[in-house]
Amino acid sequence: MLVASGCLFGEKRRTFSPPDEELLRAKADPRLRKEAETGGSEPFAAIAVYRNDVFLDQSEALGRSSLTVLNEMGRTAILLLSPDRIVPLLKDPSLRKAAWFGPQGLLARLDPSLELDMLTRFGAGTEDRDVNLLLRFVDVGGAEEERHVVAAGFRVVTRAGPTWVVAGPMSGLPKLLESDRIIYIEKAS
């Protein structure tokens, strides 16, 4: 049942002050804004891009904020966030932008070199450029897996049994990871 505000009945939505709303629009991707609005208690991974090097310039501030840094490289960090910590993160003047990534456990499906490449691309602002990725499925993928790959913004380049090479933007990686059929993702050579 829909109510006048456009929300499903029973769904709670947080309201924010106009300056906080502006921060959410300016610095957070749509999925991170949705997390902030709808709340929840489960922590998740988010990518944060700062104006300066995270290790050199942000480690003390991140330590004081009690945010967990899962990985960092250059100006970019993967942080463990909860919905109530999104707006305080965005208030940091050295933060340029932040993007939702997904449940922390999904990071285990990424090859470490791919995770570092992802951090580099987000830091450089090139996350929307195409990259070739090697997907390993639990078994030979079919039409359902191809639809999921396409919905994430990728196209299938080659298939070899349960291993596919796909091309698309690094920003679509979180959507790829939503498939339980994909067990590992690495850079394709």
Say what the alpha-carbon torsion angle 108, 114, 116, 121 is, to the nearest 10 degrees: -130
Domains and CATH numbers, the chain: 18-107 (3.30.70.2980), 128-187 (3.30.70.2980)
Is the per-residue pLDDT at 167 higher than 70? Answer: yes
* pLDDT value of residue 11: 55
How many angstroms separate the CA atoms of 134 and 189, rounded?
9
d(CA 3, CA 38): 16
- Report pLDDT digits (tens) over 46-85: 999 999 998 888 878 887 888 899 999 999 999 999 999 9
How far apart are the C-alpha atoms of 30 and 20, rounded to whole Å? 15
- Counting residues of the chain whose pLDDT is more than 90, the rounded percentage is 75
Share of the chain residues as helix, strand and coil, in percent rounded to the nearest 5: 40, 30, 30
Q: Which tens digit of pLDDT belongs to each residue from 2-30?
A: 344 444 445 567 888 899 999 999 999 99
pLDDT digits (tens, 9 = 90+) for 112-156: 999 999 999 999 999 999 999 999 999 998 999 999 999 999 999
